């Protein structure tokens, strides 16, 4: 448990299955806040409100529900989100401009506001003994498992060591791709840090983690990554050294959550890290890695444990990155399968196929055109992905 924060999660009746679907994060005092939201032009009502609320740089409570996205719900959706904010403010005695709401679930369905009216007071009865796990369970949709992490780091100062404690929680399984990925994610810390520094650190961490993963290439309408710094711990983030330690810890926490999301991708059986090295520019490395990670042909080959190198090199070739097919090297783990654009034969392919039987796979494409590199995490495509999404609303 992280000092300065309390949690609750209950079944409020928003979902049909009777599982937890309404959760709350409550800060002991107003916390410094920063956030990153979806780039989708179709935005859920909570995102629209959140983008305005976060400008203040403070937040004391987060209400999150699963089972209904409150998206494409028009003016009524905005009113429902505002009503939820007021409910939390009244119930917990905090200013409404310090309350953020988040939603995830089916798009287009009206919000069952009677469930919120009865559910929020129940959250108050649970908050004293609730856990981060309760909140994590309440925000799940098609996820098979909750996603949490807790880590610490130490800043060495002239006055002695200062420990930063950081906890993270996320949901996400389908509709996952860069441009914020598709998820709700919350990172909580006891450190003291200014809102501008926190926003800069969170944006950078997001770009290295949640913006480097994909499950199915779909960007959602409700993506929210929120970081709250409660300021209850000993660490003060106020100089280059402390900022570096904080940034490293934040990136590590975000990357851990991002990997958990990919591992729990809808229908996924494998997690793959594709690294494109030797690119002529950073954007070329990004484009090639992104194209490979998004390729359905690559993803199905991964599921079939087939080291189909032609699909990987072809994806790089259509990415818009500068490539030279006669210079490419391709590795599955440490096994070379292509060198200088030439297949190394059946024996090499058999060794590469053996690598693909693992749950976690690393693939490296070296373009031999420069010094730049980038990586993506993605999962395979199985028939279960189709089944999950074909039945999602039924």
Q: What is the pLDDT of residues 139-157, one digit of tens each?
A: 998 888 899 999 999 999 9
Burial 151-171 (b: 16+ CB within 10 A, else e): eebebeeeeeebebbbbbbbb
| Helix, strand or coil, per DSSP, at residue 156 | strand
Condensed to tens digits (0 to 9), the pLDDT of residues 15-64 reads: 988 999 999 999 999 999 999 998 888 999 999 999 999 999 999 999 99
Question: CA-CA distance, 63 to 45, in Å (whole number)?
Answer: 13
What is the pLDDT, as a whole number, of residue 131?
97
Q: What is the mean pLDDT of the chain?
A: 94
pLDDT of residue 183: 81
| CA terminus-to-terminus distance, the chain | 37
**Residue 370 predicted with pLDDT over 90:** yes
Residue 393: predicted pLDDT: 61
SS (H, E, C) 172-191: CCCCCCCCCCCCEEEEEECC
- In angstroms, the CA 124 to CA 20 distance is 15
d(CA 217, CA 195): 32
Please determine, for residue 107, whether its predicted confidence score (pLDDT) is greater than 70. yes
User: Looking at 182, 232, 313, 364, which residue is catalytic?
Assistant: 182
Q: Output the six-digit token pair for 237.
A: 């983030």
Q: How confident is the model at residue 392 (pLDDT cuts 50, 70, 90)?
A: low
Q: Does residue 390 have a pLDDT over 70? A: yes
pTM of this structure: 0.92
Q: What is the pLDDT of residues 280-332, one digit of tens each?
A: 999 999 999 999 999 999 999 999 999 999 999 999 999 999 999 999 999 99
All structural domains of the chain, each given as residue ranges with its CATH number in brackets, are 5-263 (3.60.70.12), 271-390 (3.10.20.340)
Provide the pLDDT confidence category of residue 279 given band limits of 50, 70 and 90. Answer: very high
Which residues are 35's β-sheet partners? 226
The residue whose two tokens read 């959140």 is: 50
pLDDT band at 159 (very low <50, low <70, confident <90, very high): confident
CA gyration radius, the chain:
22
What are 192-247's pLDDT values in tens digits? 999 999 999 999 999 999 999 988 776 778 889 999 999 999 999 999 999 999 99
Does residue 344 sit in helix, strand or coil? coil
394, pLDDT greater than 70 = no
Judged by DSSP in three states, 309 sits in helix
Mean of pLDDT values over 70-87: 97
- Among 20, 8, 142, 18, smallest CA distance to 63 is for 8
CA distance 109 to 18: 18
Which residue, 348, 352, 350, 347, is CA-closest to 362? 352
Calculate what percentage of the chain has a pLDDT beyond 90.
Answer: 84
Joined tokens for residue 221: 């309408």
Q: Annotated catalytic, 182? A: yes
């Amino acid at each position: 448990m992280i000092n300065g924060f309390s949690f609750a999660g209950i079944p409020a009746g928003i979902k049909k299955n009777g599982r937890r679907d309404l959760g709350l994060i409550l800060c002991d005092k107003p916390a410094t806040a920063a956030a990153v939201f979806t780039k989708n032009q179709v935005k859920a009502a909570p995102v629209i409100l959140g983008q305005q609320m976060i400008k203040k740089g403070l937040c004391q409570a987060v209400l999150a529900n699963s089972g209904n996205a409150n998206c494409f719900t028009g003016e009524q959706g905005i009113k429902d989100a505002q009503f939820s904010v007021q409910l939390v403010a009244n119930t917990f005695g905090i200013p409404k401009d310090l309350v953020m709401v988040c939603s995830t679930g089916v798009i287009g369905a009206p919000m069952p506001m009677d469930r919120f009216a009865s559910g929020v007071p129940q959250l108050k009865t649970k908050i004293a003994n609730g856990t981060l796990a309760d909140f994590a369970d309440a925000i799940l949709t098609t996820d098979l498992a909750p996603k949490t992490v807790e880590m610490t780091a130490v800043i060495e100062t002239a006055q002695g060591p200062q420990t930063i404690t950081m906890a993270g929680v996320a949901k996400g399984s389908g509709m996952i791709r860069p441009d914020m990925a598709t998820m709700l994610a919350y990172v909580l810390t006891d450190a003291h840090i200014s809102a501008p520094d926190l926003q800069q650190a969170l944006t950078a961490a997001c770009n290295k983690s949640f913006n480097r993963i994909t499950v199915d290439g779909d960007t959602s309408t409700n993506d929210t990554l929120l970081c709250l710094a409660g300021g209850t711990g000993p660490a003060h983030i106020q100089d280059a050294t402390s900022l570096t330690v904080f940034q490293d810890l934040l990136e590590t926490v975000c990357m851990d959550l991002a990997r958990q999301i990919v591992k729990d991708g809808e229908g996924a059986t494998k997690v793959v890290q594709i690294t494109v090295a030797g690119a002529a520019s950073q954007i070329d490395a990004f484009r090639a890695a992104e194209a490979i990670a998004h390729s359905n042909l690559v993803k199905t080959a991964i599921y079939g444990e087939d080291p189909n190198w032609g699909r990987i090199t072809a994806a790089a070739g259509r990415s818009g990155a500068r490539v030279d097919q006669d210079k490419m090297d391709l590795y599955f783990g440490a096994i070379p399968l292509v060198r200088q654009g030439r297949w190394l034969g059946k024996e090499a392919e058999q060794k590469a196929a053996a690598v693909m039987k693992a749950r976690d796979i690393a693939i490296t494409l070296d373009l031999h055109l420069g010094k730049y590199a980038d990586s993506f995490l993605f999962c395979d495509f199985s028939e279960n992905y189709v089944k999950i999404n074909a039945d999602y609303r039924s």
